[in-house]
Amino acid sequence: MIEQAGFYRELGGADDGAAAPSLRDAARSTGERDEERLLAYLEASHEIYTVMGAERDVIADDVWITGAGSLITDGTYVWPTELAYYVRRHHVALLPEFAAHIRARNYVSPPVPREQALAIFEECLGENARATAAADAATAKGFFIWYRTALTRASAQNLIDQLATSGLFVQHPLTDNLFGFRDTVQGKREPLVGGVHTLLSALTSDEYRNVEFQGWMGRDESLAVTVQCLDGNIQKLVFQISDIPAPDREDAVAALVRTLDQDSDHCLGFVIDRTGVSAAEDWGRILTGAGAQPTVWPDTVGILRDRVRNHPELANSKSTAYGPLDVFHRA
């Protein structure tokens, strides 16, 4: 049975019908001597349930925490993703046994096999959770995900220029307005105010972990774009292609592929999924992380050539060479 940690009263926790401990009572003025290593463990572990959106900091009530309510596991414990935020900002104490567990593992979170992760997911969310997740994935929005080496000021400007050349713009083509938000490493959500220089700073600063903005195709067709900083000097770019009206959706895909063509050498993997059927797959783990076996394939996936051997299910599939990647198309 999976152990729980970090489910304080304010985060929906309970203890056999009794009130769970208070998050406010667990906050302290200073953290543990090894707080940064504890945080690294919390943030490096496996996400088994993802929630979109954000919740307010329940202690300070001054910032939004993106993804709050998502669940993380190391195979032994499960905890809410926002626990790391509260440890970092408010030095919230971990359960003594949980902290001892992390230290005993020398602060290294082990890989969690997919079937084990699914079993934990089902245990935490109910016996119908897996079927519900599959149904949600089937109705998910289409997307284009691109993993690449971290952007520099020059490469970020080059990306913006390449998108514009392909017909996609980061500012409204008529008003030059920039619409979006940036999330700091402390969990504070800030609006993107200003021009392209503001976006460039957000995309290349260590201060921001997540940047969201509105992209434009033509004068009135927009799509949401998210750029997330991952561990290991990697950035994940997500384009919600289903935001574009169906008649023009292929034009958006083609524009993104043209952009990718200009920078394929820095690409670490990409996914094109027009209907979102593979939304539940952990593509970051599959393409750039410790590795995993997907159970649902998108329309197109590009995998670094030296990682293809991790996928014996592709042994008989035909691929196309694309820079350092091999590209596979769903039959």
Please determine, for residue 133, whether its predicted confidence score (pLDDT) is greater than 60.
Answer: no
C-alpha distances (whole Å) from 268 to each of 83, 141, 244, 296 are 29, 23, 26, 20
pLDDT digits (tens, 9 = 90+) for 281-298: 889 988 998 777 777 889
- Mean pLDDT computed over 173-192: 87
Mean pLDDT (the chain, rounded): 86
pTM beyond cutoff 0.85: no
Sort 312 into a burial class: Cβ within 10 Å, 0-12 / 13-18 / 19+.
Answer: exposed
The band of 108, judged by pLDDT with boundaries at 50, 70 and 90, is very high
Q: Average pLDDT, stretch 309-325?
A: 86
- The values of phi and psi at residue 324, to 5°, are -85, 5
The predicted pLDDT at position 129 comes to: 55
pLDDT tens for each residue of 217-228: 987 788 999 999
Helix axes 249-261, 153-165, angle to 10 degrees: 140
CA 121/CA 135 separation, integer angstroms: 15
Q: Which has the higher per-residue pLDDT, 104 or 127?
A: 104
**Burial of 48: CB neighbours in 10 Å, binned 0-12, 13-18, 19+:** buried
Return d(Cα 211, Cα 236) in angstroms, integer: 10
